[in-house]
Amino acid sequence: MGFIKSLKQDSKEFGIAIWKLPDFIFVAMGLANIVVMVTTYFWASGSVNDPREAVLLVAAESVVILIISNVFVESAKRIIEINKLKKEFVQIISHQIRSPLTVMKWQIEILQQSCEKNFTEKQRGYVNRIFEENERVMEMINDILNMARVEKQSEDMAVSEVVIEDSIKECIHMLSSFAKFKKIQINFQNGNKSHIIAADSEKLKIAVVNLLENAISYSLRNSQVIISVKESGNKAEIMIKDSGIGINKKEQELIFHKFYRGEGGKKAQPKGTGLGLFMVKKVVEQMNGKIRCKSKINKGTEFYIIFPLARII
Amino acid sequence: MDKKTILIIEDEQGMRDTLKESIENAGYQTIIAGDGEKGIKLAKQYNCDLILLDIILPKKDGFEVLRELKMDEKMKDLPIVLITNLSEPSDIQKALDLGATTYLVKSSYSLADIVEKINNILEEQKN
């Protein structure tokens, strides 16, 4: 029982199936070897006259299986090693790189608050630019981290009943300083209903934060981003609407592809990764949802994410 | 009226100094610990009102510190805010299960947001 438990733990930790773990392969190949040896022995004792030949056959088969199992175990160990490195890399990014960037962000905030009055227009521009660039690097790192999280097996999903409105409020709070900086008002058209879906709340937040962040990034200053939730039959529909640069018809499907960046998007945000919408689509689909977009150039874009509705309270 | 005391347990100096300055500017007094062990010692020694606790710390990590403080009868109701750049849902869940008041991913919050969080938690505590 202890062995199975440790296999389950390793499988969860390294994000690979139990049957691909080196310990599992080692035991399975050992059992296979015993079965083959016994079978060969019985077959040989009936078909081969010289007992030495039978022993030789059993030994030869056993050696072949041992070699094969060694190859399998070594490959599995290498996969584990790579997964460990991947995990460490993610930890390094999340902690070692984000920490100095956070200190920079906070120091700029202090600079903006305490010294801005003494700055010339040009100096204020420099400080704002540093803040923006820092935010962009942070966004890229967040994209990479989210990507690593999203690409984990769907068995890692922590599905529970989630109140969409509560998740949206948290996402709005997370982005409030960014919206304030970009002078965008987030208008949550929240009725008095709560829409409940079966979802992984963290992944739902990844989707909503990404769409909201895009809406804020591509909107004109002093405009508003609207977010709303409504039911449509047995579905819950989240809409995020901006009045930004828009996406042309040809690109409306392509924007969900990995690393794809629309022409307008490249001009407005030259340093994006092209991972955001790919990730949003992936997490939405992992939770049995769908995403679509409606857009008009220079009028704005509406993104809809649709999930099976559990109930409304 | 006496100033409320915030214990900051954070090993990175840049982060620590910036937090200290903002929190003091907001009218609190601060105590600083640069590692987990010292954090526990200072928490037991001083009567602080709230603890800001990083996770990756020398000597004892934030989870161990949290576990130990929550086991102490005198401190079980003391608000402890985890403030870190680890954003894995499993870390967040672990901290909340151990009794953290809230979990803040540093890079997602401005200093003003953090001070506002502290104000709100202490306000709620008062009521």
State residue A152's pLDDT score. Answer: 64
Option in A91, A98, A149 nearest B107 (CB): A98
pLDDT band at A165 (very low <50, low <70, confident <90, very high): very high
* DSSP states along A45-90: HHH-S-HHHHHHHHHHHHHHHHHHHHHHHHHHHHHHHHHHHHHHHH
pLDDT at A268 over 90: no
Q: Which residue has the higher pLDDT, A98 or A10?
A: A98
The pLDDT value recorded for residue B102 is: 87
B85 with A105: Cβ contact below 8 A: no
User: Which residues does chain A have within 8 Å of residue B113's beta carbon, measured at their own beta carbons?
Assistant: 176-177
Across A233-248, average pLDDT: 90
Q: Do B15 and A110 touch (CB under 8 A)?
A: no
Mean pLDDT across the stretch A129-137? 85
Sign, CA torsion B19/B22/B24/B28:
negative
- Shortest CA distance from B12: residue in chain A: A99
**What are A79-82's contacts with CB under 8 Å, separation 24+?**
A79/A14, A79/A16, A79/A20, A80/A10, A80/A14, A80/A16, A80/A21, A80/A22
Q: Do A142 and B107 touch (CB under 8 A)?
A: yes
B12 with A99: Cβ contact below 8 A: yes
Nearest CB to A94 within list B15, B85, B89 = B85
State yes or no: pLDDT of A95 exceeds 80. no
Nearest to A180 by CA among A210, A214, A221: A221
Q: Search chain B and give the residue with CA nearest A174.
A: B108
pTM for the structure as a whole:
0.60
Mean pLDDT for the stretch of residues A88-115: 83
B44 close contact with A: CB closer than 8 A? no
CB contact under 8 A, B111 and A103: no
pLDDT of residue A1 exceeding 70, the answer is no
pLDDT (mean) for A30-44? 86
Give chain A's contact residues with B (Cβ, < 8 Å): 91, 94-95, 98-103, 105-107, 109-110, 138, 141-142, 145, 149, 158, 174, 176-177, 202
Count Cβ atoms within 10 A of the Cβ of residue B64 and give its class: 0-12 exposed, 13-18 middle, 19 or more buried: middle
pLDDT score recorded for residue B8: 96
ipTM surpassing 0.90: no
Give the pLDDT of chain B (127 residues) as one tens digit per residue: 578 999 999 998 989 999 999 999 999 999 999 999 999 999 999 989 999 999 989 989 999 999 999 998 888 889 999 999 887 767 887 888 898 988 888 888 889 889 988 998 898 877 7
**What is the per-residue pLDDT for B20?**
94
Please tell me the least confidently modeled range out of A160-174, A215-229, A248-262, B20-34: A248-262
Take residue B61 and report the two structure tokens written for it.
């990590």
**Average pLDDT of the segment spanning A245-266:** 79
Residues of B in contact with A158 (CB under 8 A): 89
**What are the tens digits of pLDDT across the range A270-280?**
556 677 888 89
Residue B85 has its nearest CB partner, among A95, A106, A174, at A95
A103 CB neighbours in chain B (<8 A) are 12, 14-15, 18
